[in-house]
Structure 1
Amino acid sequence: MRTKLTKARLLANGAAVVVAIGSASPLLAQSDAGAADTAESTDAIVVTGSRIARPDIDANIPIAVINSAALEQDGASNIQDVLREMPQVGIGTTRSNSNFSATGNGAASVDLRNLGPSRTLVLVNGRRFVAGFAGTSAVDLNNIPTDFVERVEVVTGGTSAIYGSDAVAGVVNFVLKDKIDGITARAEYGLTSRGDNPRYLVSVTGGTSWGADDRGRIALNFTHESDKGLLSRNRAISREDRSLALVGVPAYSSYAPQGRFDLRTATGSAQVFTFDQSNALVMGFPQSLAYNRNWDRRISLPVERYIASANLTYEIADKLTAFVEPTYGKVKSSALLEAYSFDWSFIYKNGELGMPITNAYIPASIQTLIASRNADADPANDIKAIQFRRRQNEVYNRSNENERDTWRVAAGLRGSFANNWKYELSYVFGSMKDSTTTQDIDAPRYRAALDSIVDSATNQVVCRDPAARAAGCVPINLFGFNTVTQPGADYVTVPRYAHIKNTQHVVSASLTGSLLTLPAGDLGIALGAEYRKEKSSTDWDPITNRGDGTGTRYDDLVGQFDVKEVFGEINAPILADRPVFEYLGVTAAARYSDYSTVGTVLSWNAGVEYAPIRGLRFRANYAEANRAPNVAELYASITGGASGATVIDPCAGTTATSTRPQDATCRAIPGLLQEAAANGGAFTYTSFDLNWMGITEGGNPNLREETAKTLTVGAVLTPRALPGFSLSVDYFDIKIDGAVGSLPAQILVNRCIETGDPVYCSQIQRFPTGKLYTMSTTLMNVASIKTRGIDFNLNYSRALGLAEDDNISVNLLYTRLLALEKQSFAGGPIEENLGQLYAAGRLGTGFKNKASARLAYRSGGLTASWQVTYLGKIQDRLGYVASGADKDYLEGLNRVGDVFYHDVQLRYAIGEKRNYEAYLGVNNLFDRNPPLIPAGFASSVTGVETADVYDPYGRRFYAGVRLRF
């Protein structure tokens, strides 16, 4: 998509898009139809949400715009932080909620309407960008250089007919700068008021014309950003573990670095012991020696980014231009977790009770105690083993290091012919490689290292097994703080990794123009075709593949799909400049897609725009959008098996004559009546049967596409009597059917017996006896999601006359959410999220009221701005009722009041062309602390002790300089 948007055009339509470059007119605004009453222009432009150029920046759907001046005044080096301030945007993946992610920590995604990053389509210059997460379509915004962005256009609502799958919630399009003369260098440094979490940014942007007659243009940007992260112990709210279950006291762990040990007899515990800070033996386990996990966690991850981007064009002929847009991004991040909570049961199986009592490192007093008990006449008192639970602090670091390399090149030709017809041919290649490395324990080696003895020949502690010694076994001492030697740690640990690779190929062709002229203007038309191929693979280390490590077992993931599409769009201006018909027009679009996975799907939309008078325009749009399942949803490996699952079979108790509602269905199950007859007439389960019952989970190659129905209805007011003012109000309603999700095993079994629906019954396998064998909780198209609300956008800009070129502007984006709910399966309970931080399945944040407003004033080289972000009252869990003496306290934690964040910035530019600029700012000016939401509540982020919609850092200062040459 070619975007033509000149400064003159923007100024002429200042109330429409309100992104006048280099002025203090509104900086965070929404594209509003029919606002260009102050100037006329024949320029045609293309904006997100349509492929047809129009003479005015109008649209039958709301388009929120953030321009480069707004990005500067926000003071954010990462563009995700700017987007998250918008009411339309949910949380996504961030630096502060990905510390415990197995992969992708420190990544940054965008989530429109709280419907999930995979339902938000991210574009760069109107074209797709390769996914930044394993098996998904979600883009890592760390690869978008903030200083190279001309503007961000955000369209919410189903736009699959225009752009294809993944646009169910909407589209975020980053339009990059392409016409730059000279060089701009920027440096910025920031620090919190506590003197931590330093961040710095260095960015150089340049451009020039080249070649004969300046036919070529080049624009370049290099960005380096470093965010040093923040430790949980550096904030009072997260310094200690907090838990809903333990009111007023820290929720410390009994998995302590010095170990908690239990002398075990054949029938129970004989004695518990541990060690104090000086490694003196302590009988029992006092809470004062428990472990504070938050001391070793992070509020936010350190992230380092290197990005190189370019825009190159060359005019081959008068009406033919070639373009190339390369991007390379390297992102490094690291998690910090407390050491693994390791215990004896991980390495001792097959009925063994724990560590041998012959271990050479057992303290002398404990050896004496064991010998005394085992010398009496009662074998039942004998100590058989030592069970333990111990943090592996000095053994290995389960934190991971993450490094992602992203390449993307968009290249093609665009041109025009026959006066009003334009075409574009393009190819996009994207590649993302993610390498995550960590460590884990080798269970057989650990077992050998704990079976230690004193070698009589050398008087040294060695591993008992000669074969293990020959293989390099080093004994390990778990009794006390820092007792494990480095050679011992090296012996029992092994490297683990995950190597992820995503590739994307997109070939597209489009043609736009006009076939005929209608009473109100040209009938605009766009036609095109596109081919896209997506592939994703995840290569896990062998230990993870086998399930021999401390984490979850995963098979490698390899999957791909392709899609062939044709699309079309029309814009028909029917009437204009007539009484009560200042403008009337209709729009429509359709896209026919043929996927290698789900087959053919059709997306379409239709809209109408009506302006009875100048300055007042009504708009409406209805869309039916689709989202095809991604690689992970289709091909994630099936894991699980016999697990002793606690699923109650509705058929338990069925007899040949029982009359319960389900009994007739149960009797039809092959083998059930025979099994009942062999066991006294009733169908029953033994403990042996339960042990064989298992649950599997994973992807499902038979998934269908999600379908969404979207309605937007709104009005835009731009009164001629009040130049520079615009107000838009838009109602949105999005309903997704067949959403991808999984059902609990119990629900699967219940629904199968209740309904007989093969959707549920096909996920269940039974033994020939009729008893449950496995229940597959693999993904299915069973959920539905709904959201409704009203968007308000107000913009006003005018000169105050206090100075020759002064200007003041006010902008407000406000969303009133009316519904946000999920139903996991047809007929199931509604999971209401309106007014709740998180619903089941983490659907999103249900703020009923959310807003962002900015006041800006410019005079000469001075620019001052004040931004307020408002998060309305909300609850962690709806309907939460506590009991007991702490009832009021707990219910108070569950309720979060209104939160306001204030950000201010002052900029001053000097020089003949104001080429030298300095700025300073303060975010969270009044140091608003986040609400305490301890573990046990639905939305607590581990290690942060609050929800990740709130600012965990506190007041932040930043300063920078910008030099233009």
Structure 2
Amino acid sequence: MLLKRKFLFGTTILAGVMAAAAPALAQSTQVPGVTVTGQQGQEATEIEEVVVTGSRIRRDPVNSPTPLIQVEREDLLSTGQATVIDYLATIPALSNSLVPSDTTGSNLNDGGLEFANLRSLGSGRTLTLIDGRRHVGSQAGTLQVDVSTIPRLLIQNIEIITGGASSVYGADAVSGVLNYILRKDFEGLEIDANWGQLVQGGEADTRRISVLAGANLLDDRLNIYAHGEYERAEEVYSEHIDWLRRGRVALGIDADPTQASLGPVNDGFIDVAEFYGARRLDRPQWGSTTLANMQRPSRLSDPDVPFANCSGLSTSSACFNVDPAYTYWYDGPTARLANFGQRIGNTGTNRPWNIGGDGEPANLTAFNNRSQFPFQESERYQTGLTFQLTDNIEFYGEAKYTTEDTFDVGQFSFWDIFITDAGFGGGINSGSFVGPGLINGTSQFSTRTDNAFLPANVATAIQNNTFVRYGPATANADGPVLNPAQSGPIANHRGFGIERNQTNNREITRFVAGLEGNWDRVGFIDNVNWTLSYVHGEMNNVNREQGPDAIRFGHAMDSVVDLAGEVNGRPGEIVCRVQLLNARGITIREQNPNTATTVYTDPNTNPEIAGCVPLNVFGKGNQSPEAIEYITAAIRVRETNEQESAVAAISGQLWDFWGAGPLGLAVGAEYRREHTQGIGRSADTAGRVLQLNTGADFLPAEYESEEWFAEMSLPLLRDSWMGEYAELSASYRAFDYTTAGEGDVYGVNLVYRPIRDITFKTSFNTSFRAPTLQEGFRPFSQTFVNGFVDPCHTGVIANFQGDDAAQTKANRIANCTQLAAAKGLAFDFGSTTVTQADDYRPVYGSGIASVLGGNTNLNPEESESFTFSTAIAPRMFPNLSLVLDYYEITVNNVIITPGGQFLADDCVSNAQLNTQTCGLVFRNNPTTGDPFDNFKVGAPAGDPIGGFILGPINRSKLETRGLDFTVNYSLDTEEAFGRNWGRFSYSLGGLWLIDQKNFTNPADPNAFTDSTSGVFFPRVEFVSRLTWRPNDVLAMTWTADWMSSQDLNKNRDLVATGNLDNQPYDWNRTGNFTRHDFAVRYDLRDDLTLRANVTNVFDTEAPPFLGFASTFDPYGRRFNVGLNYRPF
């Protein structure tokens, strides 16, 4: 809260306001007219009535109607965390905020964004304000504010309301408000600089310098300031993080029987074990080659290897499981059978893991070795002024410009290249040759054994390949050998290729102008305060995504030897096959699946053919820079947000009816316009087939809102036999959106202080959130669903664990059977037969192409929140305060954008097929010889939709409730013990999460998913800070950030399914997690302060089976230093 202080605080404690180097709940122990004397005759603190966040009525901060958390500027400057949001995320109420490490990977257009997320209800339900005013959103069509664009040195403090506040501040304040209060009337020069490590070992660092200058002119009637800031953070890769480099992986070592007649699910053998130093060899960068083969299925009483049929020339993934006799590894230009070392992982048909052999280290494969923290380079500028026009009227203005460039690498491009001469006739130089290799989409290609870069031993092995076929296993016998051996002259060369990366530039401009004034009295209204403000903001974002052009990749990798020099007159030269075909006058059809019948009109000048550069895809390090340049494509998206906001408000005090204090009243109106538009990736795609995300233009979309609000405070008693003070307040807001329509919200608050030592507060608020322009109007664009697990997979159904597992299994069996029957297929989804031949066991080799877009039929979200707070500041312990804040929030008509996995699971997991979600999942793969492929989620290459339609929907509700707690205490040793050992300050702030429920099944309103105690939702978390100030110039702080253990699997689910041997028991929970930080601050001179931090002093790591989770501090021990210089 904004306090006008006439004296320094000394040892005075305003409960929850002052806590050394810690965010604190803003409550106060004082009442009007009461003074507290500090040590050594320190003069008393005087507190005046001000406007407090959470209300527009001026009042004593003691009587603030809602709970507040306050963060000081010094907290932000002194932290060892890399960013503002990383520090805010240490506050339990904000622990699941979006931090930069969350913006890497497959996400687009969001590099480096920092969004606050109160109560883990989503950043879109948290309203961020600057001095109580709106700020333009940082992503196209959204309202979330990137808090990194708010310069740290300009921040006075951050006030956080933890509860619904739409009736006071408008839409989006569903879970609360973050109000950044900027410094006022700054005079002088201040320079702040910081350098720090981003990761243990120092492979990446961050640095920042900020300068603030201000002056008072015209007899102090005019104040002007200017601020500039530069910040740079290096990119952190997976390989920079020590615990990822250890190559830890959890693998199946035992598969349980799927039928009780075959044996118990709990057979006493642990199903999963962990291994270190593991390597994976089935899909390395630039590939390994596996010849067609078939794995022998295990007996059904111990079904480690399931039955997967291979018919010889099929391109089914069931035919290309890695095997020591069929898989080739590349060393430079040569190939040999792969070294499987000590093979680990006994379950599944494809068992690619080993220790000591070939392959890429676990966690550092081309799939995993991506950016974990994006490269960021930012410049931020802001200037402003305040001008006292008269004694009662002030003009203020601000102008702001920020620019940020980011870069990060996501998953590398991937492909499957089938090598066979079958169906193509002979080689390029044989008379029976017909046509080029095939390009079957963005990631599936074909070439022949005459490929110029394919080692001769591999080509010969493919041509002569045969393998043993096996029949289905029985209860007590492995699958029998079927004679004769199967001819299989085909191989799959699969791997990762060039990286897919993105660069992003985001610019924000914001202008603020306004007038504010006050009069002692207007008519019968006292202490009149009024404000008029206007905000204009713009966000411009340009994202450049880079990856492979599939057509060019297909041409380049299908290279041959031009024996006669027909292309360039150089016999023996390696050329692209299409170039040699063109030189021979053979008609070449485009390989674009969308235009498969089109003939190249002028192949001699077409850059896809004339410019083709042969690409060696057989082994890492064999690729020429010219070939990489030829296959690399880049596309851009350009997006704009524009915001206009105007607010007029007036407040004052009316009558004092019974001596408790005057009636407070505030009324006002707000107009806001949000506009967005963009040029999509399709403009740059220009008909090309790219392994990148495409998308149409974001056509101009906007909405306008008109809102009217009122607020009232009614003091009920003061210095009465019934108590020290009580106040009832209420707020109301009516709105009219051009998209969401009309509605209203309200809030009621009560403050009661029976004695000066204790204060009670309670509130009930309704709030709303209108669908954003992105949720409503986002154009459909291509995306990929990665890591998909088919909920109809026989093994997945058998091993399903979760609430009501038995019923869910039965539902999936019935619903998947119905879906398959509609396609004329039949599988044994429930393992009811004593064979695996009729099971459904698909293998998904890569991401599933899908589309993602908006939904114009969305309804606004509505919420109700209730809080009850108790603040205790006992007089017998003048430096102690305790605050408890209980909260309940329910959000209805929740807008979610479910992922493909959610849609597929929800389609088949209920008592009947869910027509809403089933209609968004497509099993449209073309008919092949493999029935698994026919039923898999997906669509033929060139299909405009793909496997999923992803987009926002209104879906049931969210509920959360919990208890915030804060303890603050300070001790002056000289006052307490007569010995001057300095001053100690202690704070403890935390959260006890009672419930975090997600109701996602409209057919059963009482069914919910309980996230409480799950990963990212610890039952208890707190931050403890102890600061020792031995003298006036030195302060040392120890911080402990603690989270209770979180469930990866709930024990009750394992008991319900009887699968107690699923994995080691201690893997089911993360265990408690504590990170310790040390900080030192030293005032070298009056104008120079030095500081140093060690973050995660004891290098605490999350359990390795959890994987990368930003809330568990994955970066290890790191250091930072900084200074603050104030020359005048």
TM-score (structure 1 length as normaliser): 0.84
Residues 277 and 363 of structure 1: is their aligned pair in 2 closer, same or farther, counting only changes over 3 Å? closer
Task: State the partner residue of 1:655.
Answer: none
- Output aligned runs, 1:400-799, within 5 Å: 400-417=502-519, 418=522, 420-455=527-562, 456-457=564-565, 458-459=570-571, 460-465=573-578, 466=582, 468=603, 470-471=605-606, 472-518=611-657, 519-542=659-682, 548-558=689-699, 559-638=701-780, 685-686=823-824, 698-741=853-896, 778-799=951-972
Q: Distance in 1 between matches of 2:240 and 2:948?
A: 45
- Output aligned runs, 1:353-372, within 5 Å: 354-369=446-461
Report the secondary structure of 1:256's partner residue.
coil
Which amino acid counterpart does residue 27 of structure 2 have in structure 1? D
- C-alpha contact 1:432 1:503 (8 A) present in aligned 2: yes
Report the secondary structure of 1:289's partner residue.
coil
- Coordinate RMSD, CA, aligned: 4.0
**Paired positions, count:** 896
Which amino acid counterpart does residue 49 of structure 1 have in structure 2? G
- C-alpha contact 1:142 1:305 (8 A) present in aligned 2: no
Q: Distance in 2 between matches of 1:787 and 1:761?
A: 29
Task: State the partner residue of 1:205.
Answer: 212
Which amino acid counterpart does residue 837 of structure 1 have in structure 2? V
Deviations 1:426-482 (A, max 9, x none): 111222222222322222222222333333131212223325564312222212232
480, 495, 499: which is aligned to 1:390? 495
- C-alpha contact 2:166 2:174 (8 A) present in aligned 1: yes
1:53 is aligned to 2:58: yes
Task: State the partner residue of 1:908.
Answer: 1082
- C-alpha contact 2:333 2:622 (8 A) present in aligned 1: no
Residues 789 and 273 of structure 1: is their aligned pair in 2 closer, same or farther, counting only changes over 3 Å? closer
- C-alpha contact 1:294 1:338 (8 A) present in aligned 2: no
1008, 1015, 1027: which is aligned to 1:830? 1008
Which amino acid counterpart does residue 549 of structure 1 have in structure 2? L
1:340 is aligned to 2:413: yes
- C-alpha contact 1:788 1:820 (8 A) present in aligned 2: yes
Task: State the partner residue of 1:194.
Answer: 201
**Shift in Å, 1:740:** 1.0
Q: Distance in 2 between matches of 1:830 and 1:779?
A: 19
**Shift in Å, 1:765:** 13
Q: Distance in 2 between matches of 1:493 and 1:876?
A: 40
**Shift in Å, 1:262:** 4.3
**Shift in Å, 1:626:** 0.7
Which amino acid counterpart does residue 4 of structure 2 have in structure 1? T
Q: Distance in 2 between matches of 1:430 and 1:26?
A: 33
1:930 is aligned to 2:1123: no
- C-alpha contact 1:837 1:847 (8 A) present in aligned 2: no
Q: Distance in 1 between matches of 2:1038 and 2:205?
A: 23
- C-alpha contact 1:241 1:252 (8 A) present in aligned 2: no
Report the secondary structure of 2:1099's partner residue.
coil
Q: Distance in 2 between matches of 1:836 and 1:532?
A: 39
Report the secondary structure of 1:104's partner residue.
coil
Q: Distance in 1 between matches of 2:948 and 2:284?
A: 37
- C-alpha contact 2:22 2:1025 (8 A) present in aligned 1: no
Deviations 1:762-789 (A, max 9, x none): 989999xxxx999976432222111111
- C-alpha contact 1:751 1:760 (8 A) present in aligned 2: no
Report the secondary structure of 1:354's partner residue.
strand
**Shift in Å, 1:159:** 0.5
Deviations 1:1-53 (A, max 9, x none): xx853333783995336556xxx757422111553443585722112111111
Task: State the partner residue of 2:331.
Answer: 277
**Shift in Å, 1:207:** 1.4
Which amino acid counterpart does residue 134 of structure 2 have in structure 1? R
294, 303, 310: which is aligned to 2:364? 294
**Shift in Å, 1:235:** 2.9
Report the secondary structure of 1:127's partner residue.
coil
Comparing 545-554 and 98-107, the one that deviates more: 545-554
- C-alpha contact 1:330 1:404 (8 A) present in aligned 2: yes
- C-alpha contact 1:10 1:18 (8 A) present in aligned 2: no
Q: Distance in 1 between matches of 2:94 and 2:714?
A: 32
Which amino acid counterpart does residue 1125 of structure 2 have in structure 1? L
TM-score (structure 2 length as normaliser): 0.73
- C-alpha contact 1:647 1:745 (8 A) present in aligned 2: no
Task: State the partner residue of 1:662.
Answer: none
**Shift in Å, 1:251:** 5.9
**Shift in Å, 1:811:** 1.6
Deviations 1:675-724 (A, max 9, x none): x9xxxxx9954259x9xxx9976321111111111000121112233323
Q: Distance in 2 between matches of 1:172 and 1:874?
A: 28
- Output aligned runs, 1:233-244, within 5 Å: 233-239=239-245, 242-244=248-250
- C-alpha contact 2:462 2:489 (8 A) present in aligned 1: no
**Shift in Å, 1:791:** 1.2
Report the secondary structure of 1:408's partner residue.
strand
Residues 535 and 85 of structure 1: is their aligned pair in 2 closer, same or farther, counting only changes over 3 Å? same
Residues 312 and 494 of structure 1: is their aligned pair in 2 closer, same or farther, counting only changes over 3 Å? same
1:821 is aligned to 2:997: yes
Which 5+ residue runs of structure 1 have no aligned equivalent? 375-379, 649-675, 677-681, 839-844, 935-944
Task: State the partner residue of 1:672.
Answer: none
**Shift in Å, 1:342:** 2.0
Q: Distance in 2 between matches of 1:17 and 1:8?
A: 19
**Shift in Å, 1:68:** 2.3
- C-alpha contact 2:3 2:47 (8 A) present in aligned 1: no
Which amino acid counterpart does residue 868 of structure 1 have in structure 2? A
Q: Distance in 1 between matches of 2:716 and 2:634?
A: 67
- C-alpha contact 1:145 1:307 (8 A) present in aligned 2: yes
Deviations 1:624-659 (A, max 9, x none): 111111122212335689x999899xxxxxxxxxxx
Which 5+ residue runs of structure 2 have no aligned equivalent? 37-44, 253-273, 293-311, 341-353, 419-436, 467-484, 583-601, 793-817, 827-839, 841-848, 925-936, 938-944
- C-alpha contact 1:126 1:173 (8 A) present in aligned 2: yes
Report the secondary structure of 1:489's partner residue.
helix
Which amino acid counterpart does residue 1009 of structure 2 have in structure 1? E
Q: Distance in 2 between matches of 1:697 and 1:338?
A: 19
1:30 is aligned to 2:25: yes
953, 958, 962: which is aligned to 2:1115? 953
- C-alpha contact 2:1018 2:1045 (8 A) present in aligned 1: no
Task: State the partner residue of 2:283.
Answer: 255
Task: State the partner residue of 2:807.
Answer: none
1:313 is aligned to 2:372: no
Which amino acid counterpart does residue 795 of structure 1 have in structure 2? N
Q: Distance in 1 between matches of 2:5 and 2:30?
A: 16
Residues 547 and 371 of structure 1: is their aligned pair in 2 closer, same or farther, counting only changes over 3 Å? closer
Q: Distance in 2 between matches of 1:620 and 1:298?
A: 45
